[in-house]
Chains A and B, each alone.
Chain A
Amino acid sequence: AQTVTQSQPEMSVQEAETVTLSCTYDTSESDYYLFWYKQPPSRQMILVIRQEAYKQQNATENRFSVNFQKAAKSFSLKISDSQLGDAAMYFCAYRASGNTPLVFGKGTRLSVIA
């Protein structure tokens, strides 16, 4: 079974600084997708970034980027120029190709200090 591990229950970052959230996963599949979702206090799940396993280039979305290391099964999220609105729970998620559901990690709570 696929598993997703987030080893940092909580992280904090100073406003305008950079923070990296860690995620590792376990799978025997060769074709899959990885995601980072943000869950603010409203509890609405918001997609932050997506990475296809077949792509070697790391995905980037404005201030958010990933470091995808396929051989190491590692998928970290880097948030640059952190803003107060980035404070939230961040969930790493995995999905195999095909009609399969997302498997989530336990989440990392990010605090942004003004």
Chain B
Amino acid sequence: GAVVSQHPSRVICKSGTSVKIECRSLDFQATTMFWYRQFPKQSLMLMATSNEGSKATYEQGVEKDKFLINHASLTLSTLTVTSAHPEDSSFYICSARTSGTKTQYFGPGTRLLVL
């Protein structure tokens, strides 16, 4: 199956700093990437959808100036959490799909802890 990687797997940062999370599709071209957030014992909540070369589409309630998403190539998307605060602590998961295919493949997730 298709492989999606995320880096870093875990990050701890101080409040007020920015954190960048990378998501890569290793063996396929990801025309669309999705970013999800998952709180403990809860389901995945979609944050935004990005198509390669276009601006991301954010879900209602997600601050686009706080969660910057870049999808500059067919194999890489980044999520930058700007001026992170403790309430941003969560598990962030990226997912990718190729246009015309049916299945989304998921990265292993990044655990963010803001102190």
Contact = CB atoms under 8 A, between A and B. Distances in A.
Contact of A50 (B38, B102, B109): B102
B95 A102 contact: yes
A39 B44 CA distance: 11
A75 interface: no
A43 B102 contact: no
Given A47-B1, A91-B44, A52 B102 contact: yes
B51 A99 contact: yes
Given A44-B108, A91-B44, A101 B49 contact: yes
Interface string A87-114: 0000100010001011111110000000
Contacts of A46: 106
Interface string B83-115: 000000001010100010011111011000000
B14 to A, nearest CB: 24
Interface in A25-76: 33, 35, 37, 42-47, 50, 52
Contact of A101 (B1, B34, B105): B34
Between A46, A95, A101, A105, the greatest number of chain B beta carbons within 10 A of the residue's beta carbon is seen for A101
Interface residues of B, number: 21
Contact of B43 (A50, A52, A91): A91
Interface residues of A, number: 21
A111 B46 CA distance: 27
A107 B38 CA distance: 12
Contacts of A43: 38, 91, 93, 108-109
B32 interface: yes
Given A42-B108, A102-B95, A47 B103 contact: yes
Given A44-B108, A99-B99, 8 more contacts: A44-B106, A45-B44, A45-B93, A45-B106, A47-B1, A91-B43, A91-B44, A101-B46
